[in-house]
Each structure stands twice: as C-alpha cells, then as structure tokens.
Amino acid sequence: MKADLSAIDQLPGVHRIENCGKEEMTSLAMEMTHAVYAHDQVYGQYCSIQAYVDCPAEKAFEYLSDVYTLQEWTYSLRDFTTASDDGMVVATDRIGGATKIYTRTVANRQAMTVDFHCAWDQGEHLWMIYLMRVVPAQLVFDRPGCVVLWTNCRHPFYDRNPFPEKSPPGRKVWVGDMWPFFYAGHQIELDNLKYILEHRHANGLPMTIGGPQ
Amino acid sequence: MKTVSLVSAASYLPARVVDNSFFQHSDEAPAHAMFRGVKQRHHVARDETAQSMIVQATQKLADRLNLDLHNDVDILMTNVTAPDQPFMGCGAAVGKALGCRPEWILDLHNGGCVSFIAMIAQAQALMSHSGAKTALLCNVQNSAGRLFAQDETRKLKQALIPGDGCGVGYLVASNESPIKSIVQRNYCEYAGDMAIVRHDGSEWWEPSTACSYVDFTEAKLAQIMGRANHIVPEAIREACRQANLPTDQIGTLITNQPNRIFLRNWREALQLPPTRHVSTFERHGNLFGAALPLCLAEAIDSGQLQANSHLVLGGFAHAGDFAAAAVIHWRPQ
C-alpha cells in the first residue's frame, strides 16, 4: 500500500516543502541560527564529537574494535582483565579511584561502528554507551584517512547513581558528575586516539593489542 | 595618532511616520524573519534633501555644544544612502547652509551601515597629519522614502525594514571622551553581493518607470547571516582587546540595526544583556549608516549612556564587505 504522504504534513512539528514554504523555512533557519551557543545547549543532553584521522578507516576500525586498546587511548581505563565467555571485560576507571568499569563491545565491520556498552561498579546493566563510527575520509572529505564520530547520550543514571550500594567504600565521585566536562574529556581522548592511530599507521605498527597489558 | 574625542551626537527624524499599514503585507504578519519586527519608521518627504536633514541635526548639535559653526568645523564628512545629486556629495551644500568654512570636505560613498566608524577613523587620521582639530560627521539614510516607498517597491516585504533619519557626530582633538581603539576590516571578496535593481532590468541612470529595490535572494541570506555572525563580534572583540576593555565591561553597545536577529546574535556573542545594547529597530527600522550616530544621540538624551563608561560602536556594511568597531571612553564634560 502506498503511504499517504499528505497525512505526514498534518503531524505537529513536521516541516516539509508541502506544508512550509521556502520563505518560511528560511525564516525558521534564521531564528534558529545564533552566533554563539551556550555549552549546555550543545552538550547538555548529547555529547557528539568527531575528528579527522590520517589512518585508513579499516585500520582505525580494527584498532577501536579491540577493547584492550582502551588502555592506550582513554585517559583513565586501566588494569583490564581477560574477557569472560560472554565478552565482558572488567577494568579500573582510575578517575573513580578503585572503581571497576564493565565493558562489552559491539562492533559491526560492515557499518564500521564500535559501541562500548559500559557501567561503573556492576555489569548487569550496561547503561554508559559510547557510540563510535568510522567513516572513510575519501567519501566525506575527498582525501585519504578517516573520520571518527563519537556520541554519548545523557542516560538518567548519569544524574543519579542507580546502584550506590555497589560503589567502593568512601568513593565521593560519580561518573555523571563529570558530564559538564564530557566534551573536554572526550575530545582529549579522541585526540589521543587520533595521534596513536596516526603513529601506528605511519610506522606500520599492529592495530591490535589483543589482551591485557 | 593624535588623541581624538567623540564628544556628542544629535539626530533628525523626518516628520512623516509610516506604520505597517502603508505596506501591502501589513494585514498579515510578515512570515520572513528577515522582515519582522519594525512597528513604524520615518520616511523623507519628496522635497526633503539630505542636505536639509544634516542641517537640522547639526543645528541641534551646535546648540547643545554651543558651537560657532563658522570656525568649529575643520573637517566635514557626509555619507548619504540616496544622494541628492548623482555627480556630487552634499558636503559643500551643507557647509553653505550652515556657514561652515571647513578645510576638508569628504563625501563618502562607502562604509555603508558602519560608515560612521569609517568617518571617525578618517577624521582621526586627518587630524593627526594636519592642523584640523574638529570634525562634523554626518550620516543620512533617506532611501526608505526615496526608494522603498515607491508604488511597486512598497509591496515587497523588504520595504518594511528601512527607515529614514539623520545622525551627526562631533569629534574634537582632545582628551575629553577619547577614542581608545578603532578596528576596520575590509572583506573585498564579499563586495557586490548587495545591489539595487529594477524589475525591467534597466540601470539606475537609464530612463524607466520601473521601481527600484534591493536584489535580495534567499540563497545569499545564509551566507550574509554567517558573515554577520562572525565578522561583527570579531571586530568588536578586537577593538575591545586593543582598548584593554574586557567585553563584559562594555557599558553601552551601539550597532547598526539591520534586523532583530542580528542584534540578538551580536549581543549573545558578546554575552551582553539587552539593556546595554541600544535598539531603535522597532521604532525607526533599519537606519543604515545613520543608526550609529542616531542611536548615540538617543542614548545620550535618554541617559542610557552613562558618564565614565565605555561606549562601543560596531557593525557591518552591505552584505559583509566591511566591518568596523570602536571603543570610546565616554566622560562628557
């Protein structure tokens, strides 16, 4: 059955050329386009960052999908264990002192997406999700190399620790308290990733670590 | 450079007030954000010249400052949007009417909506290299009545925006209210993106009964807005930096008045509250180059501009081919 597109135009908030003229569209665009945006407007609920990396997309994907490379390019994930049968690895997030961080990696080679499903303190509910995607720069910038996209969404647990009883004794910090620094922290880590990938690629080094160091 | 002060300003508004009912689209709120927000504007009468507008504003200025116009105008500068005559500026005619004997007359046809700042810069340069000690700077916007009130043009939404008026400012080589910094940026790559055209394609000097209007295209709007968002705050920040003035110490900001979204964005970019940004847009429309001295005159008269505060002027011209800003330490005697 052919979809009734005119019904879509009745939906509140939907703007299409059929129900919103070009002039009105430009008007909306003007209203929405500011010279500056407050940090919270841009990074309040989502933290999306990106970087160009002078390294082929396939190699960047290979590196990212090896969970143990997080020891290299993240600021504070260290002391990884070997993976359990269901693919879970446990590490220490030194930002939280002795805090354990549980990670399961979901990688899709065809889409070149690498999603890290994580949580502090427990591994039953992995709610801290790091969504990453590698795009060949040839496609988007007409040049060699790749672009790495990275998004986090502000899960409500960032604002409220759901399992306070599982925290190490005496820990005062909660991962979500740092949300206002997520842009900065993640950008620094993405820069780490960029420089490490470029170094490994330029020097012909392997793209995986393959286990705890 | 010689220390030069901006000591006062005065304005003149044509008697004819035009509300939105004059325009064909008055019954409906204009859809386009570019053309919203003006409730009324003044239009020059057919027999009202740029020269006569400058004369009336200057007489107010002379009364306020107790000037002897015969001796107290070494430099006379004008910028007029719709000149009285095609071959010449009106500076000499202004001098004649006011009884001035200026050493220098400059009728400028560039600098657009921030020509007031360009005139300040040129007057300061002239004062630094000649014996000139005083300058009368005159901005006239008269294109609303002369072009945008034409029968066909007034049916266009763009006709709602311009308003006529005249603002004059007075400079003295003194330390009274010193100009602390001036920044001028020419972006010649953006020249030619704004043009006055006619429906029948005729040039302005050719015989025609077609009306004139601004060749405004949606395609250019995003570009122009992007430029304005970028180049105006940049010029203002640089002028503040050169004057050692943190932008949160701007006492009064006066910009050109193209539309309310540009005003909003510049204010946001500088993180200034609306109370520190002079806006006459709703009452006078886009006054083009006259906005700066006219807003200054209003800010002086209303008391908004406080003694011993920092006055910052800024804005851009045409479709972004020029941006300028200046910082003045306002301490009138």
Q: Do B205 and B243 belong together in one domain?
A: yes
pTM for this model (two decimals): 0.86
Closest approach of A20 to chain B, Cα-based (Å): 11
The number of distinct structural domains making up chain B is 2
Give the model's confidence band at B219: pLDDT under 50 very low, under 70 low, under 90 confident, else very high.
Answer: confident
Among B32, B230, B233, select the one facing A26 at the smallest CB separation: B32
Asked which of B156, B176, B196 is the last residue of a domain, the reply is: B176
Give the model's confidence band at B28: pLDDT under 50 very low, under 70 low, under 90 confident, else very high.
Answer: low
User: Is residue B25 over pLDDT 70?
Assistant: no
Asked which of B176, B201, B223 is the last residue of a domain, the reply is: B176
CB contact under 8 A, A36 and B269: yes
Dihedral sign for Cα A121, A122, A127, A133, please: positive
CB contact under 8 A, A36 and B268: yes
Mean local confidence (pLDDT), B66-75 = 98
Q: Do B239 and B162 belong together in one domain?
A: no
CB contact under 8 A, A26 and B221: yes
Which residues of B fall within a CB distance of 8 Å from A28?
33
Helix (H) or strand (E) holding B288: none
Residue A48 β-bridge partners: A151
User: Is residue B15 over pLDDT 80?
Assistant: yes
- Cβ pair B251, B275 in contact under 8 A: no
Mean local confidence (pLDDT), B59-66 = 97
Mean local confidence (pLDDT), B230-248 = 97
Q: Are strands B134-141 and B165-172 parallel, antiparallel or unpaired?
A: antiparallel
CATH number for B313: 3.40.47.10
Residue A113 β-bridge partners: A108, A133
Q: Do B186 and B272 belong together in one domain?
A: yes
- Cβ pair B224, B322 in contact under 8 A: no
CB contact under 8 A, B31 and A23: yes
Pairs of residues, one from chain A and one from chain B, whose beta carbons lie less than 8 Å apart: 47
State residue B8 phi and psi, 5-degree precision.
-170, 175
pLDDT at B33: 82
Q: SS3 for A105?
A: strand
Q: Are strands A100-108 and A113-120 parallel, antiparallel or unpaired?
A: antiparallel
Q: Do B118 and B255 belong together in one domain?
A: no
What is the C-alpha separation between A88 and B10, in angstroms, rounded? Answer: 75
Q: Do B141 and B70 belong together in one domain?
A: yes
Closest approach of B265 to chain A, Cα-based (Å): 5
Among A24, A35, A36, select the one facing B31 at the smallest CB separation: A24
pLDDT at A196: 98
pLDDT at B278: 98
For residue B280, the enclosing domain spans 180-330
CB contact under 8 A, B229 and A33: yes
Helix (H) or strand (E) holding B7: strand B5-12
Closest approach of B207 to chain A, Cα-based (Å): 33
Q: Which of B156, B151, B326 is nearest to B254 (CA)?
A: B326
Which residues of A fall within a CB distance of 8 Å from B161?
none
Assigned token pair, A161: 């620790």
Among A30, A34, A36, select the one facing B34 at the smallest CB separation: A30
CA end-to-end distance (rounded Å), chain A: 57
Q: Where are the alpha helices (DSSP H) in chain B?
A: 50-65, 91-98, 115-129, 143, 218-242, 260-270, 281-284, 291-302
Q: Do B249 and B164 belong together in one domain?
A: no
Which residues of B fall within a CB distance of 8 Å from A26?
32-34, 218, 221-222
The strands making up B179-186's β-sheet, listed across from edge to edge, are B179-186, B322-330, B309-317, B252-255
Domain spans of chain A, in order of start: 39-202
CB contact under 8 A, A34 and B229: yes
Which residues of A fall within a CB distance of 8 Å from B221?
26, 30
Q: Find the residue in A nearest to B35 (Cα).
A: A27
A34 touches chain B (CB under 8 A): yes
- Cβ pair B197, B25 in contact under 8 A: no
Which residues of B fall within a CB distance of 8 Å from A35?
229-230, 233, 265-266, 268-269
CB contact under 8 A, A33 and B225: yes
**List of chain A residues with pLDDT < 70:** 1-3
Q: Find the residue in B nearest to A36 (Cα).
A: B269
Q: Do B226 and B271 belong together in one domain?
A: yes
What is the C-alpha separation between A13 and A7, in angstroms, rounded? Answer: 13
Q: Do B155 and B286 belong together in one domain?
A: no
User: Is residue B27 over pLDDT 60?
Assistant: no
Helix axes B115-129, B291-302, angle to 10 degrees: 90
Residue-wise pLDDT for B34-43, tens only, equals 888 999 999 9
Give domain A39-202's CATH superfamily. START domain (3.30.530.20)
Q: Are strands B75-80 and B104-108 parallel, antiparallel or unpaired?
A: parallel
CB contact under 8 A, A34 and B264: yes
Residue-wise pLDDT for B295-331, tens only, equals 999 999 999 999 999 999 999 999 999 999 999 999 9
Q: SS3 for B211?
A: coil
- Cβ pair A134, A64 in contact under 8 A: yes
Assigned token pair, B248: 């949160």
- Cβ pair B312, B277 in contact under 8 A: no
Q: Do B58 and B110 belong together in one domain?
A: yes
- Cβ pair B225, B260 in contact under 8 A: no
Which residues of A fall within a CB distance of 8 Å from B32?
23-24, 26-27
Q: Which of A85, A118, A112 is nearest to A99 (CA)?
A: A118
What is the C-alpha separation between A18 and A12, in angstroms, rounded? Answer: 14
Which residues of A fall within a CB distance of 8 Å from B264?
34
Q: SS3 for A43?
A: helix
CB contact under 8 A, A28 and B265: no
Which residues of B fall within a CB distance of 8 Å from A22?
218
